[in-house]
Structure 1
């Protein structure tokens, strides 16, 4: 297995900490690995520092108790835009009909402020992409991975012993443990309860024999 995912997770955590230095109310990023390989059409596809800033807007909104989205998280409203502008993100156009102000982008000043962080994260992302392509070359990808089922890109709930939970892609969790920031133990996907097979009904011939024995 490639050692790149933990390196990329460390760079994601470092980039998040850089944002926190400018915005101290931003909560900690509990599981940076959960962002690797995950995409969201509502929050921008692909992983980048721009996507990280977008997630930081949601983090600050949550810390303030601000409802910044609607329609199951797809529509980003003006409260989202207000927090985004505090983080140096802009949306010069009118809101999109279905996603609202989701496609915010860093202003030139914001890009200059975070330039070293952006460059470090881009290098880590490039190395991760190269390692992923090398690991997958010549291997067979099953239907779950090809079609994005629960083994590919769909998130499921992972829990830790202290009761906290995160939504994570199973293949990402398989690459490296995701540690809980509260108790220090790894998140795990609960096993589905095993259903006990129903008792097999007796054959009609056996019931007839039992009645004959009693008579």
Structure 2
């Protein structure tokens, strides 16, 4: 089994710690691997340093008790934007009709400040992508993935070797492994015995 997911989780944790160095009130990232394969159109589906800073804005908002989104987390309001600007992100003047100020980007100064961490994370993401796209076609692709959905659907139980379990949409798990913080092994959907064919 590839060791890339734990390496990527470690790089995510390193990048988060680097952000915390500049923003000490940012809470710890409890499960870096939870970001791997997690898809949210409002927050950005692509995993990147920019996305980590975006998630950091939500973390600081939570620490301050600020409601930074509405519409089930899709619309990012001006309170989100104010914290994003503190963290070195910027947004065009006009909010998006459905997601508000969610599409924030790194300022040139922020990109320069975090350059080493950005480059480390990019290398880990590139290795992770190479490892997970070398798919033999044998891995389970849930119904949402087969029908072109972006990840909505029924959650099922995924387990790891130490016995912990999580509820996850199969297509999200199929995008990339989610690694257990306890044992370091990936969560998997238990195989169901196929029904006998008459």
TM-score (norm 2): 0.77
Q: Aligned pairs, how many? A: 178
Q: Give per-residue Cα distances to partners, 1:130-188, cap 9 Å, x unaligned.
A: 01112x13436444353478xx7766799xxxxxx987566389653134xxxx9x9x9
In structure 2, C-alpha distance between the alignment counterparts of 1:73 and 1:56, rounded to whole Å: 15
In structure 2, C-alpha distance between the alignment counterparts of 1:140 and 1:107, rounded to whole Å: 39
1:102 is aligned to 102
1:72 corresponds to 2:75: no
2:138 is aligned to 139
TM-score (norm 1): 0.71
Query: Unaligned 5+ residue runs, structure 1?
Result: 159-164, 190-215
Distance 1:100 1:48, change over 3 A: same
Q: 1:178 aligns with which of 155, 164, 181?
A: 181
In structure 2, C-alpha distance between the alignment counterparts of 1:168 and 1:33, rounded to whole Å: 13
Local SS of the residue matching 1:125: helix
CA contact (8 A) 1:34 1:167 kept: no
Q: Relative contact order, CA 8 A, sep 6+: which one is greater?
A: 2
Question: What displacement does 1:49 show?
Answer: 0.4
Local SS of the residue matching 1:39: coil
Structural RMSD (CA): 3.3
1:198 is aligned to none
Distance 1:44 1:143, change over 3 A: closer
Greater Rg over alpha carbons, structure: 1
Alignment of structure 1 residues 106-185 onto 2, 5 Å: 106-134=106-134, 136-139=135-138, 141-144=140-143, 145-147=145-147, 171=173, 175-179=178-182
1:15 corresponds to 2:15: yes
Distance 1:23 1:140, change over 3 A: closer
